[in-house]
Amino acid sequence: MKFPVLLTAIALFAVACGKPAEPAATKAEPVAAPAVPSAGVLNVYSARHYDSDKVMYDMFEKETGIHVRFRESGAPELIETMKAEGDKSPADVIISSDVGTLYRFQAGGFTQGIRSETLEMLIPPHFREPNGNWFGLARRARIIVYDPTRLKPEEVAHYQDLADGTLHGEICMRSSSNVYNLSLMGEFIGRWGSDKAAEWARNVVANFARPPQGGDTTQIESIAAGECSAALINHYYWVRMATGTDAEKAVTAKTALSFPEQDGVGTHINVSGAAVAAHAPNKENAVRFIEWLTTAEGQQMLTSATKEFPMVASMPLPAGLEQLPDFKPSEFPLQELGEHQAEAQEIYDRAGWN
């Protein structure tokens, strides 16, 4: 069954966008005036960094008459900004690219719970916070990329395989402090318990080919260059390269993908999502925008450039995702990923995963 689809969008005050890649520095750009009579304002704080999001905001503005202003930066910077602003914060909507960061906004008191029949109907319960503090809008799978000339598919069919002693000196990874790895460990803690999760981390560290470095794209490039045999990545990094330049296609051609746990609980899934800010001065517009992101237009704008899977069932897949196999996704409750985040970092630290 092909993974369902939902588009996640982001609106901001200051813009920092570029080619889909790792988060970049923030830049400011003017926002065009509404194309129809004003229906109010929407202030978006976004931790996403895609040119396509600007087009998405513009489309929403033209359709609704709601003037979109946005601030774009990293999640930690946005959290510090909202702390400084207090209850005077102009933020209406918060958008982030991992449930771990959505949880940080919630835990800091920067979100509010909302009820929406539309969102509750279209978004499965395990992809939204139980009290409506945030909603997943696009999905990503954390998978294994590997060198098919050095490893067989059955050797990387499970996350546990990365901890097997036969892969000593064969594993590349990015930093453990990256929220993608923290969220993955959060599911391991929830499924396996702390002791088994810690053992996994120690054994993976023992298999490192080099100290953790770079982002997910770096791991793909390292495998293609023969520096290691396997690594963890979010699926869309590979798809972007596989549909990119000739040089990028040549890199991905040297690699293969494994969607782990197909004979069990399914592959780890995370989301890009949105929340209504705690002191949103334009709450109704904020809810309307998040609901709009579940429409055909919103889902397409949210995922076409990122190469994430849409959240809403029946939505068409972005170009390039047809290169991926059908797979079984995990249905682990995403709220628990955030709840285990602090312990996940402690486990990584004790294991020496820098």
Question: pLDDT tens digits, residue range 253-288?
Answer: 999 999 999 999 999 999 999 999 999 999 999 999
Residue 203 has pLDDT above 50, yes or no: yes
- With bands split at pLDDT 50, 70 and 90, how would you rate the model's confidence at 29? very low
**Tokens for 109?**
């008191």
d(CA 217, CA 215): 5
Using 50, 70 and 90 to split pLDDT, how confident is the model at 8? very low
Give the residue, 238 or 38, on which the prediction is more confident. 238
Q: Alpha-carbon distance 25 to 344, whole Å? A: 27
Q: Is the pLDDT of residue 23 over 50?
A: no
pLDDT at site 26: 40
Half-sphere exposure of 259 (CA within 13 A, CB side): 21
Whether 13 shows a pLDDT value over 50: the answer reads no
User: Predicted confidence band at 38 (pLDDT cuts at 50, 70, 90)?
Assistant: low
- Average pLDDT (181-199) is 98
Q: Cβ neighbours of residue 193 under 8 Å, at least 6 residues apart? A: none
pLDDT at 39: 77
Strands 171-172 and 230-234, bridge-based pairing? parallel
Average model confidence (pLDDT) across the chain: 90
pLDDT, one tens digit per residue, over 131-140 is: 999 999 999 9
Residue 223 scores a pLDDT above 90: yes
Say which DSSP state 140 is in.
E
What are the residues facing 142 on neighbouring strands?
A: 234
pLDDT band at 104 (very low <50, low <70, confident <90, very high): very high
CB distance 299 to 235 below 8 Å: no
Separation CA 213–CA 246 (nearest Å): 25
- Find the mean pLDDT for residues 54-68: 96
CA 343 – CA 354 distance, rounded (Å): 15
| Section 226-233 average pLDDT | 98
Do the beta carbons of residue 230 and residue 260 sit within 8 Å?
Answer: no
Distance CA 128, CA 126 (A): 6
> Is residue 236 over pLDDT 90?
yes
Say how many Å lie between the first and final Cα of the chain, rounded.
37
Cα–Cα separations (whole angstroms), residue 102 to 50, 295, 303, 340: 18, 21, 18, 13
Show the tokens assigned to 218. 């770096």
Instruction: Judge whether residue 34 has pLDDT over 60.
Output: no
